[in-house]
Structures are given as C-alpha cells and as structure tokens.
Amino acid sequence: MEFAFTQEQEMIRDTAAAFLAEVSSSEAIRRAMATEQGYEPELWNRICGEMYWQAITIPEAYGGMGLGYVELVAMMEQMGRYLLCSPFFSTVCLASNALLLAGDEQQKTHWLGKLCEGDLTATLAFNGGHSGWSTDAVTATWHKDGDNYVLNGDYRYVIDGHTSSLLVVAAREEGSTGEEGISLFLLPADTAGLSCQWLPTMDQARKQATVQLCAVTLAGEALMGEAGACGPTLARILDLAAIALAAEQVGGSQKLLDMTVEYTSERVQFNRTIASFQAVKHKAADMMLKTEVARSAIYYAACVAQEVLEEGPMAAELAEAASVVKSYTSDTYFSVAGDSMQLFGGVGFTWEYDVHLYFKRAKSSEHLLGNGAAHRERLAALLLDN
C-alpha cells in the first residue's frame, strides 16, 4: 500500500495543528486538569462551532462532514501532540462510532444530529472492572420486563462518563458469556437509576468515571440493534477506538521527540550541548525511528477502518489492523516517554516541564483498550483461527 495525503487531508491536518497550537497550550492544559470536568466549555464550544470537528465522520445525511477515518486519524495525531483536554475522543471515537455501527435510522437521525449541533457530549460504557478490554469485560446485565429492558451493573474506566449528556452502555443477557447476549442501549444522563461519579486517575488530562445502573428501566427504542446480538458490533467499535487512540499516541511520541531535541540542544555540559554527544544522538534516532514506524502503522489501520465503515463488517481485517497498531504504538509511546524523561534528567518530572504530562498519558493510554501484550496475544489467536 502506497499512502500519501491528498491536498484536502494536508489542509485538515495543518489546520488542526495551527488551531491546537493556539488553544491547547501548556497553561490551558493545566487549567483544564485542575477541574473535575476536565475541559473548558468555551474551548469545546469553539471546537464544535468554529471547527465542526465533532461531525467529522458523521455522514452528510445526518448533518455531518462525511469525511473518512484517515482524516480523523490525522486530527487525533495532532490532538495527541498538543494533549488536547476535551470530550472529543469519548464523543467521536466511542459514542459516534457506536451510533454509526449499531443505531437504527431514527436513532442516528436524532442523536447524530444533536452531536453535529454541538448540543451534547457522549461516551461508551462497557468495562465492568475487568482486566481485559474485549467483550468479556461486559459484566452489567439486562433482562426483559414486558416491552421494557431492565439493566443492572457497574462500569469503570468510562471516559468523560461524569460529564457526558448521553451514554451508550453495553450489557449482557443474564447468564450469557463472551460475545453472546450483549446488547447496546442509549441512556441520557438524567435516566432514573443511572449514577456517574468522577474517578481520579494518574492521567489528569483525561477524566474517567464510574457508572452504576440500578434497576434502570428502558423502553424498546433505547435498544440499539438486535437484542443480544451486538457482541461483534461492540468488538468493531472498540477496534475503531483503538486505532484512533493509537493515532493520539503517535502525536504524543512526536511531541516528546521534539521537546527532547530542543532541550538537549540547549542544555550544556562540559562546554558543549548534550545533543552533540553520540549517545544522545543515538537515543534520539531510536525515538524518531519508533515514531515514524508507528505513524506508518496508524495510517494503514485508518485505511482499513475506512473500508469497514464504507463496505461492511470485515471483522478479521479490522481486528488484525487494530491490534497491530495498538500494540506497537502503546510500546512506542511509553518507550519514547521514558527515553525523554532520561534525557531531560531530574527536571523532567517537575511541574515546570510538560514531559511528565506526556509520560502519564503514555502509561494511561498504553493500558486503555488493551496494552501491547494483550494485543499481541490477540493477534496470535487471530492467526491460529485463520
């Protein structure tokens, strides 16, 4: 596959970089981190009103821009580079994809239209505290009560769960296991029996929450897709999210490399900059090589993701691409962050420098949606199945 940006894609990437350089400065990141909400509403309003990014992959029929996953990945790379604090990942890469893959026409028209208008933020809740990130992590349950569905259970690691206006939740039919019996439901934040609580985490730039469902009763129109048959769909949603997250990791790796080269070019020891030392040059070269390989991987995976959204399931191809890219970028980001911390020395983990912010994001995003070891194990299983 020979990949090159079109002029339109280059413009989207460059516009995103210029905007984020303006609005996601170190000071802005730290202001957002200090709040429980985790982002500044004024900035999110600008993203929705001026840039219209929340509608990037939503088809034009529902009011969106109708762009593809390559464009989304290009933007996610820049968001990772500037460590943007916003509900973009939860709203666009989780909830919006869930609506696109599992929602019926009425649900798409209503909720995607509201997303495009910037009236709400949304997220996906599925993991009940399981160490893995597959459909096995779904522990909440549902059962039918006449024409209604009754949901019970807890969720952890819900990105922006405490601030989202809409939650897409996964629950399994009582007694089911694996991909069997899983359904997806749409829950507005004010649904009776639904409670969300902010969960303080190491990565203060991305907020998480716990979600509890206590005898939540939903009408039939809250169900997405066929009852008990959404296991494969949830797997595709998570794969698409993993590819978007991998793009963010590449952007973070590139920023760490840039900051490290700049710092080592200024720091002087033995009457010369440390960037002139051969060992430092070799370390920087290794960081650059890993980042460039990771960048190639995310755009390959983005092309596969786009085919899935346009042509249909392709579950095996998407799963393989997602696991290849997430395993490599997770290892790369944390490795580059560790090398950057070493080259900065003791000041790297002080509050005055931003390196520690990216170091924390590297560790948290490494485990979010599965770390390198988990995805390599999944790849091995996929190869055996084929």
- pLDDT per residue as tens, the chain (386 positions): 567 888 999 999 999 999 999 999 999 999 999 999 999 999 999 999 999 999 999 999 999 999 999 999 999 999 999 999 999 999 999 999 999 999 999 999 999 999 999 989 999 999 998 888 999 999 999 999 999 999 999 999 999 999 999 999 999 999 898 899 999 999 999 999 999 999 999 999 999 999 999 999 999 999 999 999 999 999 999 999 999 999 999 999 999 999 999 999 988 888 899 888 999 999 999 999 999 999 999 999 999 999 877 776 677 899 999 999 999 999 999 999 999 999 998 888 888 899 999 999 999 999 999 999 999 999 999 888 76
Are 246 and 301 within 8 A, CB to CB?
yes
> How many residues comprise the chain?
386
Every domain range in the chain assigned CATH 1.10.540.10: 7-121
Q: What are φ and ψ of residue 343, in 5° steps?
A: -75, -25
| Mean pLDDT rounded to a whole number for the chain | 94
CATH number of 123-224: 2.40.110.10
According to the CATH classification, is domain 231-385 in 1.20.140.10?
yes
| DSSP 3-state percent helix, strand, coil across the chain (nearest 5) | 60, 15, 25
Every domain range in the chain assigned CATH 2.40.110.10: 123-224
Within 13 Å and on the Cβ side, how many CA atoms surround 35?
14
Are 364 and 203 within 8 A, CB to CB?
yes
The pTM for the full model equals: 0.96
Every domain range in the chain assigned CATH 1.20.140.10: 231-385
Q: Where are the alpha helices (DSSP H) in 85-197?
A: 88, 97-102, 105-107, 113-117
Report which residue type is found at 190. Answer: D
According to the CATH classification, is domain 7-121 in 1.10.540.10?
yes
